């Protein structure tokens, strides 16, 4: 029997944004100066529309690259902040941060965080690791 494995590697959102913004700025500057562009004369309005479309594409790329767990998307800072709360035994703080990051209701946020808190009273670090692993792998 042959097994097929799917591996997904996510690129940190900060890296995508840096590369995308650098590309956006370079392209817009080059278009504005007509560098390497023959016979193309764009108005400022057209250049602005190109910039808006590139920004929309960058936002879409960032969104589809985010890891989703049960439909919730968190960026790396949010994951780290919630991980820190769980690792230090502050489950209520983790729930508050999760709610703030996802706009989940209190019940949904509590149930979501509780999924990772399966150990006894002193299993805080294990809960934090399970949480981070769910989002980062």
The residues pairing with 73 across neighbouring beta strands, listed in sequence order, are 68
> Who's near 100: CB < 8 A, 6+ residues apart?
none
pLDDT for 70: 84
Query: Is residue 51 within 8 Å of 28, Cβ to Cβ?
Result: yes
What pLDDT does residue 5 have? 46
pLDDT for 39: 57
DSSP assignment string, 21-44: HHHHHHHHHHHHHTTT--S----H
Q: Cβ distance 114 to 70 under 8 Å?
A: no
Please report, in tens digits, the pLDDT of each residue of the chain (137 residues total): 455 545 455 677 778 888 888 888 887 777 766 555 555 677 778 888 888 888 888 888 877 776 678 888 888 889 999 999 999 989 999 999 999 999 999 999 999 998 888 766 657 888 898 888 888 76
Q: What residues contact residue 24 under an 8 Å CB cut-off, 6+ apart?
A: 51, 54, 55, 58
């Amino acid at each position: 029997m042959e097994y097929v494995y799917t591996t997904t590697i996510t690129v940190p959102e900060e890296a995508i944004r840096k590369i995308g913004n650098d590309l956006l700025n370079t392209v817009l500057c080059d278009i504005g100066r007509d560098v390497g562009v023959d016979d193309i004369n764009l108005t400022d309005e057209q250049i602005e529309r190109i910039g808006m479309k590139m920004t929309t594409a960058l936002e879409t790329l960032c969104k589809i690259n985010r890891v989703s767990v049960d439909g919730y998307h968190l960026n790396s800072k949010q994951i780290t902040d919630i991980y820190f709360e769980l690792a230090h035994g502050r489950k209520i703080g983790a729930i508050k941060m999760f709610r703030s990051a996802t706009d989940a209701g209190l019940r949904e946020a509590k149930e979501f965080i509780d999924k990772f808190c399966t150990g006894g009273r002193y299993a805080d670090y294990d809960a934090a690791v399970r949480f981070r692993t769910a989002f980062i792998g």
